[in-house]
Amino acid sequence: DLGLSLRLSTTVAMSGEAKNPLFAAFGAPKSDFDRDVTWPLWIGAGAAYHVNDQLTLAFDLHYSKWSELDELPTEYKNEIWAANVPEEESTFTLNWDDALQIRFGGEYHLNEMFDIRAGYAYDPAPAPDETVIILFPSMTNHMFCVGGSFKGESFIVDLGIEYLLSSERDITEVSDYNQPGKHSMNVLAISAGFGYNF
């Protein structure tokens, strides 16, 4: 089996409230703001091979055009904020690189009631050292997944466990846009689903 998917670039309008106690002396400790965030072009291609009636193996490639995320400007609604926050401080400079994610996994059909699955994904960091910040974490990630399904006569229960292990980044280069230091992230996610056929 072969598959191909395409997600075009989209821009999401975000809004919120920023706070800065230093501006309290000017009568403006906080300000509403707007920010547009671009989710880049995404292309996925994959293949599945049925080894036999019980075992299926799959391999996917996911290309993300992260280079579309060059800058994320912020528009402050309060006049004091707009006049006193420098542009370089109100704009997130990312300059990310395009990245290719690699995934593979498999499913084993034990019997009519049980299926088990396992997989791995390699996700390279898109951010260069000079723009790494904690607000937009960017590390090379290794993702390990296991899960399975239990099928009854009229229902199905799915369970999945994912562990994301990131490679530590030691940012020593200081730039106008980054936060030097050691950056790492580990995530454990557990999901469950239930379906019923009426």
pLDDT by residue for the chain (198 residues), tens digit each?
Answer: 999 999 999 888 889 988 888 887 788 888 899 988 888 899 999 999 999 999 999 999 999 999 988 888 889 898 888 888 887 778 888 999 999 999 999 999 999 999 999 999 999 999 999 999 988 889 999 999 999 999 988 999 999 999 999 999 999 989 888 999 999 999 999 999 999 988
| H helix intervals, the chain | 79-84, 87-90
**pLDDT for the residue 22:** 80
**pLDDT for the residue 69:** 81
CA distances (Å), origin 185, targets 43, 67, 84, 92, 137: 26, 23, 34, 21, 8
> How many of the other CB atoms lie within 10 Å of CB of 78?
19
181-183 and 10-19 strand pairing: unpaired
Judged by DSSP in three states, 137 sits in coil
